[in-house]
Amino acid sequence: MMKKILYTLLTCLMMVGSQDNSLAQAKKEVKYVLAIHGGAGTILKKNMTDSLEKAYIAALTEALEKGYAKIKNGESSQDAVIAAIEVMENSPLFNAGKGAVFTSQGKNELDASIMDGKTLKAGAVAGVTIVKNPIKAARAVMDKSEHVMMIAKGAEEFAKKQGLEIVDPQYFWTQQRWDGLQRALERDKERMELDHDGQQSNLPPVIKDEKFGTVGCVALDKAGNLAAGTSTGGMTNKKFGRVGDSPIIGAGNYAISCTGWGEFYIRTSAAFNVSARMKYGKENVATASKAVIDEIGKLGGDGGMIALDANGNVAMPFNTEGMYRGTVTEDGEIKVEIYK
């Protein structure tokens, strides 16, 4: 009788152990096909109203759904990236497209890029002011020209010839972003007065945004091909035609999408650096992307990035208080996060 009880107990333990191993294996083998970000920065739960939090979650979820639908239907990772980013460009919540921040001259100057991981083809636009969806303009540069980057008026002329939707610059005006510019201009004025005291360095002060709202997407299609896209309005109160990392292949995008203080991503070739660490250093996507964000942090920069590898492993490191982000698995399971 005792032997029978022990045998039964042992059998049960073995079954539980087997189930645990199966669950662990299943968890380990989760395959992600799409990840997005909506910017990183000082994003704190205490500063977020319930209604605004719900709005962000809804917008991120819609972007994931639109991108996933393309993957599910067997369309390319590039198509999925465009679909997801277009949702965020059309939302005033993010610093891209409709929600773009203002330059010091009170304009909205938009940058975007897209890259095909298989062929390394890429397209980018910078400083456009009338293209409704800059990510589509970047795709057009990649697919319809022999170039990688176009800027300002030239990029706008090209976009018109490709039949992309053109809007009046007023379309990008939002009260929230305008108020943000006014605050930045006031801070600039105060800082200039302090500069006359002779106690500041010769370099102009940098007022970091409370939130970097750049948007991005990385996708893995059924053929095993990766693509990534990034779109942004830049930094509030930017001057002199400043361009950040988002449209620069190898810095803000290299089949990886970055968000943060662009100058540091350019200096470290951040997006390419992740790829190089994986290729030459044999690091996995999580280790490589975290190491690059850590390097940016040591230099004084902040932000984050999203990355997928060819096996569907995802990494979304950031060194700020939060980053709007989300993932969808091969089975369509969606997860959205905001805070650290």
258: nearest Cα among 54, 52, 147, 111: 111
Q: What is the mean pLDDT of residues 201-223?
A: 71
The total number of structural domains in the chain stands at: 1
Residue written as tokens 């205490």?
Answer: 46
Q: What is the mean pLDDT of residues 83-110?
A: 97
Q: Is residue 137 part of a domain?
A: yes
Q: Is residue 270 part of a domain?
A: no
- How sure is the predictor about 198, in pLDDT bands with cuts at 50, 70 and 90? very low
What integer pLDDT is reported at residue 153 of this predicted model?
Answer: 98
| Catalytic-role residue among 103, 129, 214, 232 | 214
Residue 205 DSSP code: P
What integer pLDDT is reported at residue 247 of this predicted model?
Answer: 97
Evaluate if residue 200 carries a pLDDT over 70.
no
8 is an active site residue: no
Q: Is residue 310 part of a domain?
A: yes
Helix axes 77-89, 50-72, angle to 10 degrees: 160
Q: Is residue 321 part of a domain?
A: yes
Q: Is residue 35 part of a domain?
A: no
Query: In this structure, is the dihedral angle defined by the CA atoms of residues 220, 222, 224 and 229, taken in order, positive or negative?
Result: negative
213: nearest Cα among 57, 56, 337, 324: 324
Q: Is residue 313 part of a domain?
A: yes
| Prediction pTM value | 0.87
Q: Is residue 317 part of a domain?
A: yes
Q: What is the mean pLDDT of residues 200-215?
A: 56
- How sure is the predictor about 213, in pLDDT bands with cuts at 50, 70 and 90? confident
Q: Which of 33-37, 40-44, 119-123, 282-286 has the lowest mean pLDDT?
A: 40-44
User: What percent of the chain is modeled with pLDDT above 70?
Assistant: 85
Evaluate if residue 42 carries a pLDDT over 80.
yes
- 78: containing domain: 43-175+208-255+298-339
Q: Is residue 112 part of a domain?
A: yes
